[in-house]
Amino acid sequence: MSKKLDIWQTWYYQPGDFIYGGILYQSTFLYKPPSFRGKSSASIQDNTVVTENYQHALALAFAVNEINENPQLLPNITLGFNIYGSLLVTMWIYHATLQFISPKNSFTPNYKCGNRDHLLAVIEELTSRLLDEIPYILGMYKIPQLVYCYGTVNTEITSTFSLYDMVPKGIQQYRGIFLLVQHFNWRWIGFLAADTRTLNWFSQNMLPEFSRSGICFAVIESLTNLDYEAGNMNGIVKMYNTVLNSNANVLIFSGDSHRMTILRWTITTAMKVATERPKGKLWILTIGMELKHISGQTTWGVQDFHGSISFSLRAEELLGFQQFLWRRNPSNAPGDGFIKDLWTHAFGCTFQDSVEGDESQDVCTGEEKLESLLNHIFPKSTTWESYSIYNAVYAVAHALHDMYSSTLLRRNRRILENFTLWQLHQVLKSVRYNNSVREKIFFDYSEELLPRFDIINWVTFPNHSFYGMKVGWMDPMDPTTQALTINKDVMVWHKWFNQTQPVSLCNAKCLPGYRKKKKEGEPSCCYDCILCPQGGISDKPDMADCFKCHEDHYPNKDQNVCIPKTATFLSYEEPLV
C-alpha cells in the first residue's frame, strides 16, 4: 500500500540561539519492479528506512549537546539544530532548504522574527544529482554548506557557493583506485559514473593516466547517458547490456548513496527479467557507496557485492557517543521525528497509535534496545559519516568562537545576534582545531578535508547480512606509489571467481613462444597471439616482439628457450666416414 509522507513528519528539532540545518538521508521511496508485459516504468510502492543512517542525525545532536555543555567553547550561547530527512527527492530537499530561511512551522522564505534559531550553517548529504541545484539557493544567502558523503570533482561549485567538503574531492579517490588497480594487475576494467559531469572529468583527467600504465576500459558510461532512472525499463536494459554484461571482470562505480540504492535495485530487477544471469563483477566503489541495510528489501543485490572493494574515510570512536546511542528510545527523544520510523523498521514492530501499522507485527514497547540490533542494521561503532558530521559541527562552532573572544561573548550577546554569515566564511576557511580524539581538523586551500582513506572489503552471508572488513588504507598526502597499503592475504572474493583473486584482462596473456599482435580498432590491451617466426623465440609471457638466439644457440621446438649448440671437432687423423 502506498504511503503518503509529510515533510513535517521527517525532521528533528532542538531550539537554540543559533541552529545548524541538516539535510540527511534517512529514508527513501521504493519502486515496484516493472515487467516486460506491463508498463515500461515502475510505480512508487512504499517508503523504506536506511536504518544505519539514523546514527548520522544522532551524531549531529551529540556534537551540539557536547558543545552546549562545554564552558570553554561558545560560553553563554546555546546551539540547536533543525534536521530534515531528504528522502532523496528534489521537491523535499528544496522545501527543506527554503524552510531554513523561514520561521519555524511556517513556510515563509526571507521572513524571520525573534532572536533565536539564527541559522548558522547547513550540513547536508548532496548526491551527484542535486549538486547543481541545491547549493545555488543557500549560496545566495552566503550560508556555509558542509557536505559529507560525496566527493565532488567540480571545484568551481565549491568555490562559488561556499561548499566545504568533509570528503576529499574525487581526484584523491581516483588516484587511490588507480593504485589499487595497478596493485592487482587488472588491465581490462569498466567505469560507470553517476552523471555526465563526473564522466567527462574522469575522461579528461584520469583516463590518460590509466592508459599510460597499460590499463584499458571495456566500457566508460554514465547513468545519465544510459537514460537511467529508477523504474525505467529501457534504462535497465541498457544498463544490463552495456555494463553488467560487459566482458570486464572489474567495474569502478563512481556515485553516491542514492546511486548505490539504484544499482542494487537494478541488479535485482535484471535478475528477474534477463534471459540469462548477468556475469559476476568485482565492484570498486567510491566513498558513500557502502552496503547498507534497506528495511523491507534486505536481499537487494547483497550477494552480488561479496568481495567488492569500497573506499571509506577513517573514523575514530567518539568518547561517550556509544552510551548516547544506547540510551536512546522513543520516550526520551523530544523533537525527534525520525525515531519512530527507525524503531518500526529496525525492530519490526508497530506503535499502537500508528495508523499505518501492520496488524501482524508485534507492538513496539519503546523499551527495545538499539544495542541489541545486528551490526549491519545499526552499527555499534562510529561510522565515518557520523564522524564527518561531528567534525563539521565543531568546525563551525570553532569558527564562530574565533570570531569573538570569550569575554565579548559573555558581555555582549547583541554582537553575535547582528553578525552576518559572510564574516563566518572567512574564519571557517582557516579554522584549525583538535577534536575530542585529538585529531587535527582543518580545510585545505580548496576548502576540503584530507583525511586518510580506508579500503574496505565486503563480506556477505547467506542470511543477507554483511560486514565491511578493513584491509588497507591510502594516504592522499603521499605522492609516491607507497601511498597504498593493502593486506591481500585476508581479502575475500566472490564465488563467481572461485573465491580467488579475479583476473581482468581483455584476453589471455600470450604464452612464451608467441608475441602480441594488435587488433585493429581495439584498445592496446586487446591483441592476438601469434607464433614467433622460425628462428625466433619469446621467453616471457605477453612479449611484444620475438628475438633471435645468439649464434651459438638455437630455439627449442616450442620457441621459448635458446639451447646452446654442441661444438663438434674433427682431427686430421680421423676419417671422414
Same domain membership, residue 12 and residue 69: yes
Q: Are residues 231 and 249 in the same domain?
A: yes
Quick one: pLDDT at residue 161? 56
* CA dist., res. 500 & res. 505, Å (int): 15
Q: Which H, E and C letters describe 497-517, residue by residue?
A: HCCCCCCCCCCCCCCCCEEEE
Residues 176 and 275 in one domain: yes
Distance CA 390, CA 325 (A): 14
Question: So what's the pLDDT on residue 60?
Answer: 97
Kindly compute the dihedral angle of the four CA atoms of residues 403, 407, 411, 417, in this order, to the nearest 10 degrees: 10
Please state the domain count of the chain. Answer: 3
Burial class (CB in 10 A: 0-12, 13-18, 19+), 334: exposed
- Both 320 and 306 in a single domain? no
Q: How far is residue 364 from each of residues 46, 127, 243, 346, 358, measured CA to CA in Å?
A: 21, 33, 44, 11, 12
User: Are residues 320 and 306 part of one domain?
Assistant: no
Q: Which amino acid is at 180?
A: L
Angular region, 396: left φ>0, alpha ψ -120 to 50, beta rest: alpha
- Cβ atoms of 162 and 139 within 8 Å: the answer is yes
Distance CA 101, CA 95 (A): 10
Return the amino acid letter for 363. Answer: V
Domain identity same for 467 and 557 = no
Q: Are 214 and 531 in contact (CB under 8 A)?
A: no
**Given this model, what pLDDT does residue 32 score?**
45
Distance (Å, rounded) from C-alpha 244 to C-alpha 223? 13
Residue 506's pLDDT is 92
Percent of the chain scored above 70 by pLDDT?
81
Please tell me the number of Cα atoms within 13 Å of 7 on its side-chain side. Answer: 22
Quote the crossing angle between the two packed helices 196-205 and 170-183, to the nearest 10°. 60
**pLDDT surpassing 50 at residue 3:** no
What CATH number is associated with residue 310? 3.40.50.2300
CA distances from 314 to 258, 374, 388, 553 (A): 22, 22, 9, 58
Choose between 156 and 558: higher pLDDT: 558
* In a shared domain, residues 349 and 484: no
Q: Does 157 lie in the same domain as 229?
A: no
Q: Indicate the burial class of 495 (C-beta count within 10 angstroms; 0-12, 13-18, 19 or more).
A: exposed
Half-sphere exposure of 330 (CA within 13 A, CB side): 17
- Decide if 531 is inside a domain: yes
Q: Which residues contact 170 (CB under 8 A, 6 or more apart)?
A: 151, 152, 153, 198, 201, 202, 254, 286
Q: Where are the alpha helices (DSSP H) in 384-455?
A: 384-403, 406-411, 413-417, 421-428
549 or 576, which is more confident? Answer: 549
Q: What is the mean pLDDT of residues 356-383?
A: 88
Q: What SS3 class is residue 55? A: helix
Please tell me the predicted confidence (pLDDT) of residue 440: 86
Per-residue pLDDT tens over the stretch 420-453: 777 788 888 888 888 998 888 887 655 667 678 9
Grid cell of 248 as nine digits: 570486464
Residue 526 domain-assigned (yes or no): yes
Q: What is the mean pLDDT of the chain?
A: 83
The C-alpha atoms of residue 328 and residue 349 are separated, in whole angstroms, by 17
- Among residues 208, 221, 275, the alpha carbon closest in space to that of 251 is found at 221
User: In this structure, is residue 574 part of a structural domain?
Assistant: no
Is residue 251, in this structure, part of any structural domain at all? Answer: yes
All three cell numbers of 209: 593516466
Task: Report residue 176 CA to chain centroid gap.
Answer: 14
Q: Region 88-111: what's the mean pLDDT?
A: 80
- Asked if 34 and 144 sit in the same domain, the reply is yes
Residue type, 371: E
Our CA dihedral for 94, 90, 128, 449, rounded to 10 degrees, sits at 30
Q: Is the dihedral of CA 5, 7, 8, 10 positive or negative?
A: positive
Q: How confident is the model at residue 224 (pLDDT cuts 50, 70, 90)?
A: confident
Among the listed residues 456, 537, 430, 438, the one whose alpha carbon sits nearest the alpha carbon of residue 164: 430
145-147/163-165 β-pairing: parallel
Please state which of the ranges 18-22, 221-225, 455-459, 541-545 shows the lowest mean pLDDT.
Answer: 221-225
509 domain-assigned: no
Q: What percent of the chain has pLDDT over 90?
A: 44
Whether 258 and 382 map to the same domain: the answer is: no
CA distance 300 to 30: 11
pLDDT digits (tens, 9 = 90+) for 12-48: 999 998 999 999 988 775 544 434 334 434 444 456 8
Burial of 204 (0-12, 13-18, 19+ CB in 10 A): exposed
For 114-172, how does the pLDDT look when each residue is reduced to its tens digit (9 = 90+)?
A: 778 888 999 988 766 666 566 677 878 888 989 887 666 654 554 555 788 888 777 88
Q: Are residues 11 and 147 in the same domain?
A: yes
- Domain range holding 522? 514-564
Q: What is the CA radius of gyration of the chain?
A: 29
In a shared domain, residues 45 and 142:
yes
Counted residue by residue, the chain has a size of 577
**Of 267, 213, 258, residue with least CA distance to 236:** 267
Cα separation, 554 vs 66, in Å, equals 80
User: Is 401 a domain residue?
Assistant: yes
417's CB contacts (< 8 A; 6+ apart) are 17, 115, 118
Residues 471 and 490: their CA atoms lie apart, in Å, by 7
Q: How confident is the model at residue 8 (pLDDT cuts 50, 70, 90)?
A: very low
Give the confidence band of 322 by pLDDT, cuts at 50, 70, 90: very high
Residue 123 is assigned to a structural domain of this protein: yes
pLDDT number for residue 236: 72
The helix (H) or strand (E) run that includes residue 366 is none
Round to whole Å and give the CA distance between 37 and 533: 58
Residue with cell 534496545: 369
Burial class of residue 238, CB neighbours in 10 A (0-12, 13-18, 19+): middle
252 within some domain: yes
- Contact of 460 with 302, CB cutoff 8 Å: yes
Name the β-bridge partners of 251.
190, 283
Are the CB atoms for 97 and 137 separated by under 8 Å?
Answer: yes
CB atoms within 10 A of CB 438: 7
pLDDT attached to residue 447: 60
- Residue pair 229/268 in contact by the 8 Å Cβ criterion: no
- State residue 385's pLDDT score: 94
Nearest to 11 by CA among 335, 393, 344: 335
